[in-house]
Amino acid sequence: MKPVFLEGFGLPLLVVHTLFSSALLFASARQAVLGVRWWRGAEVDAAAIRTWGRVTAFSYGLAFALGLLLYPHFRVHVRGLVLDREAPWASNLFDMKEGLAALAMPLVAGLFLASRENGAAARGAFAAQAVALAALIVFAFALGMIVTATKGV
């Protein structure tokens, strides 16, 4: 039987994945606050929108890519051998988290492109995307923490 892909790197990958997820949580919340303030007519620095758009896209890209790399190890050693048997609810929460994180992809890309327009983007659409993204990320992050507290690697 071949070893599972990157099975010896479970813990370091999980730690880095969590670090970038935390950065994403902060950046998406910050972007939502900026978006709502901008939509309500407040003066918002275009450079701040651009910066947080970049930080969100960078942290999402890395967190998602690391999650994809970690997934085979998790699927076999954590979910397949432990969670499916002893905590099936945590298996379901994990897959929920993965699905919700993937659904954030178009929002991240859209906000990144909109943030590069130097304030020319539609404010209402920007705020709606930023709030939807922050809601998805907060929910996915909370689910991820619950699953990791049950069994991480």
Partner 1 sequence: MARSFGATAFYAAWFLVAALHPRLPWYLPLERTVAMKVPPLSVGMDFYAKVAIAAAGGVAGFAAGWFFERRSSAAARARWRARGWTWALTLLFWCATMEVVVLSRRAPIALPAAHPERPPPPPEAED
* Residues at the site binding partner 1, with contacts judged by CB under 8 A: 1-2, 4-5, 68, 71-73, 75-77, 79-81, 83-85, 88, 91-93, 95-96, 98-100, 102-103, 105-107, 109-110, 113-114, 122, 124-125, 128-129, 132, 136
Residue 120 burial class via C-beta count within 10 angstroms: exposed 0-12, middle 13-18, buried 19 and up: exposed
34 vs 140, beta carbon nearer partner 1? 140
Smallest separation, CB 79 to partner 1 (Å): 8
Smallest separation, CB 100 to partner 1 (Å): 6
43 vs 63, beta carbon nearer partner 1? 63
Residue 149's CB is within 10 A of a number of other CB atoms, namely: 9
Question: How distant is the alpha carbon of residue 122 from its chain centre?
Answer: 24
Question: How distant is the alpha carbon of residue 3 from its chain centre?
Answer: 28
Smallest separation, CB 96 to partner 1 (Å): 5
Residue 110 burial class via C-beta count within 10 angstroms: exposed 0-12, middle 13-18, buried 19 and up: middle
47 vs 109, beta carbon nearer partner 1? 109
15 vs 122, beta carbon nearer partner 1? 122
Helical residues (DSSP H) of 40-122, grouped into ranges: 46-73, 84-86, 88-103, 105-115
43 vs 100, beta carbon nearer partner 1? 100
User: Which residues are CB-contacts of 106 (< 8 A; sequence separation ≥ 6)?
Assistant: none
Smallest separation, CB 40 to partner 1 (Å): 18
